[in-house]
Structure 1
Amino acid sequence: MSYILIAVLLMALVTYIPRVLPISIFRKEIKSKYIKSFLQYVPYAVLGALTFPDIFNSTGNYKTALFGTAVALILANMGKSLVIVALGSILTVLITGVFF
């Protein structure tokens, strides 16, 4: 077999395994409250792990990114809507970008 065909088959296998394993492992209903509560937070943790590092690289300046993130976290903790949180952090980055 050629190198390209072997590489494509390996990539297909590596992509297919993470999709099939959860279905084959969790066929029965999960009864443990601990595991259920853990699995409820996994999507949020994955989303945070994927987006949080890019927040600091998005502006090109760590200080403005830090201020924008702090304002977003404060507004979100206060229960503001997603639009307010996004606009507040964008305005903070723009304003701090003038000074830093």
Structure 2
Amino acid sequence: MNSEIIWMIIGMGIVTYIPRMLPFVLFKGKELPEFLQGVLKNVPYATLGALIFPGILFIQEDIWFGLFGAAVAFLLAFMGANVIIVVLGSIAFLSVYSLFF
């Protein structure tokens, strides 16, 4: 392997590690305000939504394909199904949908 690539991997590791380590070092033994804790608890959901939503709309030229798949996934998740069941159920529905439309 080229030494430039090795140094690039080491640099990317350091740059990734620092933002993950800093909160543990800076906030060790401190408690955040309730409002900030509530905001931080919702960050993963907001990020996941921002990553998934464009994929739903642009998965195919037919926008209904993505919307129907998302609706089935939301319905199964709302009913309390396991994540694997949600994914497989959405895939199964979209497979049947693609056969008929």
TM-score range, shorter chain: 0.5 to 0.7
User: Runs of 5+ in structure 2 lacking a partner?
Assistant: none
Provide the C-alpha distance between the structure 1 equivalents of 2:89 and 2:9, rounded to a whole number of angstroms.
Answer: 45
Partner residue, 2:46: 45
CA contact (8 A) 1:71 1:88 kept: yes
The 1:29/1:76 distance shift into structure 2, 3 A limit, reads: same
Partner residue, 1:75: 76
How far residue 6 of structure 1 moved from its aligned partner, in angstroms, is 5.0
How far residue 40 of structure 1 moved from its aligned partner, in angstroms, is 1.8
CA contact (8 A) 1:68 1:92 kept: yes
SS state at 2:96 partner: helix
**Residues 52-67 of structure 1 aligned to structure 2 (within 5 Å):** 52-55=53-56, 62-67=63-68
Partner residue, 1:85: 86
Provide the C-alpha distance between the structure 2 equivalents of 1:57 and 1:75, rounded to a whole number of angstroms.
Answer: 22
Q: Give the AA of the match of 1:81.
A: A
Instruction: Give the percent of matched residue pairs that are identical in Structure 1 and Structure 2.
Output: 39
SS state at 1:64 partner: helix
TM-score normalised per structure 2: 0.64
How far residue 41 of structure 1 moved from its aligned partner, in angstroms, is 1.9
CA contact (8 A) 1:56 1:62 kept: yes
Please, what is the CA RMSD of the aligned residues?
A: 3.2
TM-score normalised per structure 1: 0.65
How far residue 27 of structure 1 moved from its aligned partner, in angstroms, is 1.4
How far residue 68 of structure 1 moved from its aligned partner, in angstroms, is 0.9
